[in-house]
Amino acid sequence: MTSRWVPLESSPDILNAWSKKAGLAGRSRFEDVYGLSDDLLGMVSQPVKAVILLFPISPESEARRKQEDEEILAKGQPGLDPTILWIKQTISNACGTMGLIHAIANSSVTLSPGSALSKFIEQCEGKTPEERAKLLETTPLFADIHAQAASSGQSAVPTDLDTNLHFTCFVAAPSSRGDDRADSSMRLVELDGRRTGPIDRGESTDLLKDAAKVVQDVYMGGSPSLSFSLIALCEP
């Protein structure tokens, strides 16, 4: 990690403020997901374009991450859409901004022409994940937007920047496999800058429900922590 930012709070107000300053336009907005039951998921505005999860890092989650990454490196993920924009995280505590960029850049949402996001996404085309990370490091506007959002939360800005909380993101992307799947087949893809690349979480027919199941089974299953937060990018 080359530098360290102040962590973002997991709050729709914070994520919406960041997004509007960065260039998210139209009616798109972030909303809280209050629970994983069908009734609570049904309260979220539709359609859902992306889901952002804040979760606690633990020895168990780190062991799972290492095992999954080793399997992905060994077996590959041939069904993933090659046009997915994924960035390697090289800035400590930047996972909030990383999650926001991953969510917005890989969703069919409207961006303001000439905005920080539209320019950044355009500049990322054709670059490696590491080159995109370097581009993020050298784009002061994102550091400024992140700092403004981090300082506008309800909690005091911490003096100790070490944190065991991390953001990841889920989007839906078309399958790239040339098999017998229908052309409309979609995959649930997890985007986390700490990983080896995008993670195929299986077929997706309902982004919010599919992401909630992964959160329940992979992240929350067996965890005693209550430090989870789920926020959806919606375009009502």
Which residues are marked as active site? Answer: 95, 166
The CA-based angle 14-16-22, given to 5 degrees, is: 105
Q: In what order do the strands lie in the sheet with 199-203?
A: 29-33, 229-234, 48-56, 165-174, 186-191, 199-203
As a whole number of angstroms, the distance between CA 41 and CA 234 comes to: 12
Report the DSSP pairing between strands 229-234 and 199-203.
Answer: unpaired
Tokens, residue 47: 């359609």
Is residue 168 within 8 A of residue 52, CB to CB? The reply is yes
Beta-sheet strands, E only, within the chain:
3-4, 29-33, 48-56, 91-92, 165-174, 186-191, 199-203, 229-234
